[in-house]
Amino acid sequence: MSVPFDADTKGVRFTAKGLSSQRKRLGLSAADYGKLVGVTGQTIYSWENGLSRPRKQQLPVLASIRPLGKREVQARLEQLTKGSRKK
């Protein structure tokens, strides 16, 4: 997955609890959150439960989702769904 901005991960922290609370705040399933990040829903569950951690290249993508609201996230998901239908 291509990162939409500089892949500078300095200062980007990841916590399983933070990911879980953010996903719940946005009202997203693990599968939908995974689509935004470019991973599977199972991977999201693994991250949330501390079974694994995101790779360095995934941290900027996770950070880019943090400031988004529900409407913005839904718009991104719709774009991703439209893009996958064209293929």
Q: What is the pTM of this model?
A: 0.80
- The answer as to whether 8 is a domain residue is no
Say how many domains are in the chain. Answer: 1
Domain enclosing residue 79, as ranges: 16-86
Gap between the Cα atoms of 5 and 65, Å rounded: 12
- Collapsing DSSP to helix, strand or coil, 22 comes out as helix
Domain assignment present for residue 2? The answer is no
Angstrom distance (rounded) from CA 60 to CA 14: 10
Say which residue the tokens 């079974």 belong to. 51
**pLDDT, tens digit, 9 for 90 and up, residues 23-45:** 999 999 999 999 999 999 999 99
CATH classification at residue 53:
1.10.260.40
Residue 28 lies in a domain: yes
Mapping DSSP to helix (H, G, I), strand (E, B) and coil, where does residue 54 land? coil
CB 30 within 8 A of CB 78: no
pLDDT at 4: 42
pLDDT at 5 over 50: no
* Domain presence at residue 7: no
